[in-house]
Structure 1
Amino acid sequence: MLADGIAHARRYDAGGEQAEGERAEPFNDLFHTSIKVECVKGKLDGTKFVRVPNYKPRDLMAEGSGFLQWTSVYVLALSQTVRVLLLDEPDAHLHPSLQSQLVEALEDIVRASGKQVLMATHSTEILRWADPASVMEFKATGGKYLKEANQKISLFLGLGSNYAPKLDPLRNSKKLLIVESASDARILKTLAGRAGLVWPENLVIWPWTGSSKERKNLFLQLQDEVPGLKAISIRDRDDQSLETVDPTNLRDKGLHSPHEDMLIRVWRRRHIENYLLCPAAVARASGQPLEVINELLATHALTIPDNFTAKDVATALLDARGKEITVEHADSFRKRLGVTPIQIADVMNADEVCLDIIELVNQIIAMCAPDDPV
């Protein structure tokens, strides 16, 4: 980090060798072919700079735009002559994980130095994790700090994010399905078709990785924008206790304040991919013998029971890490067999589609059915 480092420059001649005994001077294209600015890591011990052992210097002139932007912001924040920083989208060009780290670093500097930092941003990643009390919303009538976490949702709608274009169709259909990712929705829609169920057309898909509570807050904000809105939320159980999911209708029993216009649902199996661990379907999708599929499943300490589609299937299958088995692990279906989850879903037979999937799809169909005439 630049807070503990020092930068120095060296001048290079036409042969690429450092000019002996000389420090960097203003660049002169008659004599110089490049400038190398190295950043080394260390700490000041009184007036002595002590380098961190085995730290490889970085050439700032060869780094990417994100790194250089981070560096320039950090230099300003640490300058003893600067007390107030006005930053215009310093998160631009940064990976989402680095965006949150930048904010955390600035917060540390503020706490240590008493400086004030005002930052304009369009980053939904920063807004999602920011303390509401540190977020100021500007409207035509002026600006004010937020008080509640759910107030951040309305900001996302005005940021030109992927969510904003969904509002117009949502106002028309008033039917919403909140999933963890667009791929989850594709899997669910494909399995519905394989089971002979008709997927509703008047349904807006909204990817959102938040918890059940966060999704309820999202729904309440959207319902302010779309009166009469109804929604179903479905997400992976992950490490949530199995006892918190109702086996009859997949209701999240951990959410103690449900809303009458929203169904909060959680898969009983750890991941939606758990519903794709059907050896026969994987064999068809990959073109491999059934024995190969079962041997691959065995490397994950998993044997698929005959009642694969049942609600009361063995706990080992309920708790299996479906994402790893199908996609992420070195011995996953995708990496060993070259087959993806959606390809498996696309070849499943009707009697291979699990009852939990059918239950949820029927709930979606019921929500999207035309209202009874008054």
Structure 2
Amino acid sequence: MKIKRIVIHNFKRFKQLQVELSSFDCIVGANNSGKSTLLQSLALFDFVLHNCLSVKQVNGNNTQKVFEIKNRSIAPEEFVVLPVANAIDLWTDKIAQKGGKHVLIQIEVEFDNEKYVKASVDLNFNRYSISIETEVDQNWLKELVSYKISYLPVFSTFLTQEEKRTQAVIEDALSRGRVNSVIRNLLYDLKQKGEIHYLERVLQNAIPSFKELNIKFDEVTDKYIDVSYKEEGKNKSFDLFMAGSGFQQFVYLFGFIRLRNPNLILLDEPDVHLHGTMQASLISELKNLQRTEDKQIIFATHSRDIISRIEPDQIITLNEDKATRLKINFEIYDLLENLGSFDNIQIAQLQEFKRLLVVEDHDDWKFVQVFGKKILGEADWQKVEKRLSIFPAKGNPYKQDMVKLKEQLTAMFRLNSSGNPLKLFVLADWDYYPYRDELIKSLNQKDVNIKYHVWGKAEIENYLLVQDALIRLVKFKNETKNLFTDPFIDEFNSLLDKSKSIVLDKFAKAVEEYSHSERKGWNITKMNSEAQKLLDSMWDNNKLSITDAKEYILPGLKRWLQNNGFSQFSDLSLAESLEVSEIDNEVKEFIYKLADFAGVRVNKK
């Protein structure tokens, strides 16, 4: 049974979207076109479907079952399929009521057997109300109960060690999209079911040097599951954590798929971390899965290599909230994708001034705009903006090939035809890279026309962690309520203390990436030791600089406000509430450098 059509209403960026699906579909489109949102809508459909379908036994008879449809109310913390900072974030334009009426998120699905299911999500008193509508036929409901959709988000590196978990803990992690945190448990289950040879075959096809997987765990003596692998011609085994990211990604994808055996597989950018040869192996294995095991597979990608290996009628293009099957001219695909990041004004500015600011995403640019206006004043900042073109890199730009980007844009817009070369100013989050000075030195040696500024704090959101500004903003948002600031600050400090373990994990992942990229060959003990040293050297005096402001501190403060009946704030409004005197000196220096880069003379204040 396969889905042949989906219609989405009021979900995230889609007010309404209809998509015709086939057995094997590749979703492409410019940044922010809704590729991930389309996949998430199907994951949401699966969540609502299985939470609203129930099975009961008749008169205690285990052999006779009745399938029922029930509406349910679910708290935000239990809505694990799509965790968001605020429940309203799931609705288009954050509107869950209009004209006194509730606006429902609805996912309508038509299967290839002509059966129809509509899943609905409402918001009542900050709880999700979910329901489904379909034909009430016992055979059909039984078929729906056994129908499974699996959504695998963008790959994350495995943990250094992993304890044996109960099935309930494993299921909870999987429901939250944290496959990487229980991958060894999944591999252990795969071995227990005699299915590990399938994964070994897939790995051997993709990586000729791979020989075998070894999975060990003793229920009596072991705390951690030991997963290692061997390569041809080598006697030594290597821990799974030491494997390259491409190897880990194949284990992540095909180990999970084999164990869970879903009917519909949803993959968000499965090509990340894979070079061209492994991307070819990925597509080959996915097509084989679809053909031999009758799976339906839908995945989103930016990879030109992958798109060029797929038949045109298997490609769905998202553009301006419309989904179309198009025959793409692969020779101009890169051009179209890059053009999607610029409007006509940006292109004109790029051709005239040849100054490009590269940022991680549009949110980072919005923060820069706020800081620029405050530090330079409205008039001078407008002069700077008029001379800059902005390129969102969709990820940390220091991990991407900026030299290649400069060359592509130069050729694309013929920027060599008149004198001065194209120049780039790259603004990047530090992202816990172990040795920042070494990083900046190596980056600035790559091209004289590419400048880098890597934030001294973990991310740009860390510069918003100013207590006075937080208190001012929260009081303003809640001026009609009696908000006591002491409990709010206590919560801030509590979150800060609790984030220490999160920061250690981030350092551990960064050290692991560094060891692989620089070919250090460090073992787990060495990497963990380096991560702990980094944390110990910075935490006491710089915790506000290295804490996880973006994903832990600021969302945690918003949850506290919500749970205590107070109005929340946006990160952008927090930036706007900062006084110039409260803005970090590093941010001020960056803005002055940016003005100089744009060719605008300003007076430092």
TM interval, shorter chain, is 0.5 to 0.7
Question: What is aligned with 2:302?
Answer: 127
Structure 1 Cα separation of the partners of residues 412 and 540 of structure 2: 41
What is the alpha-carbon distance in structure 1 between the residues aligned to residue 410 and residue 542 of structure 2?
A: 38
Helix, strand or coil at the partner of 1:231: strand
Shift of 1:291: 2.8
Match of 1:233 in 2: 426
Q: Secondary structure at the match of 2:446?
A: coil
SS in 1 for 2:371: helix
Specify which of 436, 443, 452 is matched with residue 244 of structure 1: 436
Match of 2:494 among 295, 299, 302: 299
Contact 2:457 2:463 in 1 (8 A): yes
User: Over residues 33-60 of structure 1, what are the superposed CA-to-partner deviations in whole Å (9 max), with x where a residue is unaligned?
Assistant: 969795989xxxxxxxxxxxxx922499
> Which of the two has higher C-alpha Rg?
1
State the distance in 2 between where 1:109 and 1:325 align.
Answer: 35
Q: Aligned partner of 2:492: which letter? A: L
Would you say 1:224 and 2:411 are equivalent positions? yes
Rounded Cα–Cα distance in structure 1 between residues aligned with 2:355 and 2:540? 32
Tell me, what secondary structure is at the counterpart of 2:581?
Answer: helix
- Kept in 2, the 8 Å contact 1:179–1:207? The answer is yes
How far 1:260 sits from its partner (Å)? 1.4
Show CA shifts across 1:240-280 (max 9, x none): 22x2247xxxx733537422111122211111110000000
Task: Provide, for residues 282-325 of structure 1, a one-character-per-residue CA deviation record: whole Å limited to 9, x for no partner.
Answer: 1111115553442122122359xxxxxxxx99331221101024
Distance in 1 (alpha carbons) for counterparts of 2:141 and 2:305: 30
Q: Does the CA contact (< 8 Å) of 2:427 and 2:453 recur in 1?
A: yes
> Residue 388 of structure 2 corresponds to which residue in structure 1?
203
Report how many residues are paired. 266
Name whichever of 98-107 and 320-329 sits farther off.
98-107
Q: Following the alignment from structure 1 to structure 2, what is the Cα–Cα distance between the partners of residues 274 and 128?
A: 32
Residues 168, 114 of structure 1: alpha-carbon distance in 2 compared, 3 angstrom cutoff? farther
Q: Which residue of 1 aligns with 2:207?
A: none
1:259 aligns with 2:447: yes
CA distance 1:187–1:335, shift in 2 (3 Å): farther
Alpha-carbon distance in 2 for matches of 1:297, 1:230:
41
Q: Aligned pair in 2 of structure 1 residues 279, 344: CA closer, same or farther (>3 Å)?
A: same
- Letter in structure 2 aligned against 1:262: I
CA–CA separation in structure 1 for the residues paired with 2:446 and 2:432: 21
Query: Structure 2 matches for 1:110-149, cutoff 5 A?
Result: 110=287, 126-128=301-303, 130=305
Tell whether 2:527 aligns with 1:321. no
Residues in 1 aligned to 2:582 and 2:557: alpha-carbon distance in whole angstroms: 26
Please state if 1:369 is matched with 2:599.
yes
Structure 1 40/157 Cα, relative in aligned 2: closer, same or farther at 3 Å? farther
Aligned residue runs from structure 1 range 17-96, under 5 A? 56-58=145-147
Which residue pairs with 2:470 in the alignment?
282
What is the rounded CA distance, in whole Å, between the counterparts of 1:113 and 1:183 in structure 2? 38
Give the root-mean-square deviation of aligned CA atoms: 4.7
| Higher helix content, 1 or 2 | 2
What is the alpha-carbon distance in structure 2 between the residues aligned to residue 265 and residue 135 of structure 1? Answer: 39
Match of 1:214 in 2: 400
> 1:329 offset after TM fit, Å?
3.6
Distance in 2 separating the partners of 1:111 and 1:254: 43
* Residue aligning to 1:6: none
Q: What amino acid is the match of 2:545? A: L
Q: Assess, with a 3 A threshold, how the Cα gap between structure 1 residues 214 and 132 changes in structure 2: closer, same or farther.
A: farther
**Alignment partner of 1:252: what SS?**
helix
- Partner secondary structure for residue 443 of structure 2: coil
1:270 equivalent in alignment to 2:462:
no
Give the corresponding residue for 2:284.
Answer: 107
Structure 1 pair 129/183, CA: closer, same or farther in 2 (3 Å)? same
1:195 aligned counterpart, secondary structure: helix
1:177 maps onto 2:357 in alignment: yes
- 3-state SS of 1:239 partner: coil
Q: What's the secondary structure of 1:339's corresponding residue? A: coil
Whole-angstrom CA distance in 2 between matches of 1:317 and 1:284: 19
Code of the aligned partner of 2:542: T
The TM-score normalised by the length of structure 1 is 0.56
Q: Would the alpha carbon gap of residues 109 and 330 (structure 1) be closer, same or farther in structure 2, given more than 3 Å must change? A: same
CA offset at residue 190 of structure 1? 1.0
Any stretches of 5+ residues in structure 1 without a counterpart? 4-16, 19-25, 28-32, 42-54, 61-96, 116-122, 137-142, 304-311
Say whether 1:157 aligns with 2:338.
yes
Contact kept, 8 Å, 1:324 with 1:332, in 2: the verdict is no
In 2, Cα distance between equivalents of 1:40 and 1:113:
23
Tell me which of the two structures has the higher relative contact order, counting C-alpha pairs closer than 8 angstroms and 6 or more residues apart: 2
